[in-house]
Amino acid sequence: MDIQSENRCFGGVQGVYTHASATCKCDMTFGLFLPEEAKDGPVPLLWYLSGLTCTHENAMTKAGAQAWAAEEGIALVFPDTSPRGAEVADDEAYDLGKGAGFYVNATQSPWAPHFSMWDYVATELPALLGETFALDMERQAITGHSMGGHGALTLAMGLPGRFRSVSAFAPIANPTASDWGRKQLSAYLGDDETAWAPHDATLLMEANGFDGPILTDTGTADQFIDLLRPEALANAVAKRRQQAVLRLQPGYDHSYFFVASFMEDHVRFHADHLMA
């Protein structure tokens, strides 16, 4: 693992690291914020999964999460959203290929050789983090934005017992019923829609739910709200009687101004459960 940078940040350290990924068969980069408490022993970990077109850097520099994480003594990890490199397949559209891994393990050509983002986030990166840094891997939570909100919800429900809490900003909540999902799921996983179901938060909620608290925020002025389908997830939550707070925020759009506006709420939400 190579250190790209390490900067003092709210009493802790914001680092950026690159490593050779056996899962994605390329070099992968992630950001990791360690609060000051990590000098004295392992600290809880909050994952932040970013959305379409993003890298590890977007939330790291725009979301303002480190200030609140430092107050709570929580680490933050910011993985990349897809494999990278000249040998990695890409598409001219912004919502497929590099920057658009959708947190699935691709089975279709030309994506299958590198696009294994589910295994990367679920298995490889957690193992690396636990072995290398002062992190309490028994206390994890997860959040994300847009495509990353989709990833956070599906990983939380798909890995029972892994995360104590889950939240999402404007998640793609029902991709199997949206043009923002059907395109990517068919490209990565093929035309058999039974393979899509484990990557749809609404279907997972109907089938399994989540053994813990959920928080989501979506702006009523979000330019993509019809593709996000927050109402589908809300209906599934109501049917399951799942413990959840699903908020619509008047006038907010899909941008990082929206994410930053409610980041404190989300970090505090997770801290309540990580520190319990």
Q: What is the pLDDT along the chain (276 residues), one digit of tens a residue?
A: 999 999 999 999 999 999 999 999 999 999 999 999 999 999 999 999 999 999 999 999 999 999 999 999 999 999 999 999 999 999 999 999 999 999 999 999 999 999 999 999 999 999 999 999 999 999 999 999 999 999 999 999 999 999 999 999 999 999 999 988 999 999 999 999 999 999 999 999 999 999 999 999 999 999 999 999 999 999 999 999 999 999 999 999 999 999 999 999 999 999 999 998
The tokens 């914020």 sit on which residue?
33
Residue 5 among the catalytic residues:
no
Task: Give the H or E element holding residue 85.
Answer: none
Catalytic annotation, pick one of 146, 165, 167, 178:
146
The residues, ordered by sequence, that sit 6+ positions from 169 with a Cβ below 8 Å of its Cβ are 143, 144, 145, 146, 149, 216, 217, 218, 258, 259, 262, 266
Domains and CATH numbers, the chain: 2-275 (3.40.50.1820)
Helix (H, G, I), strand (E, B) or coil at 154: helix
Q: Which of 80, 200, 217, 222 is catalytic?
A: 222
Closest by CA to 52, choosing from 113, 110, 108, 93, is: 93
Q: Is 22 helix (H, G, I), strand (E, B) or coil?
A: coil
The reply to whether 222 belongs to the active site is: yes
Give pTM, 2 decimals: 0.97
Find out whether 144 and 155 touch, Cβ atoms under 8 Å.
Answer: no
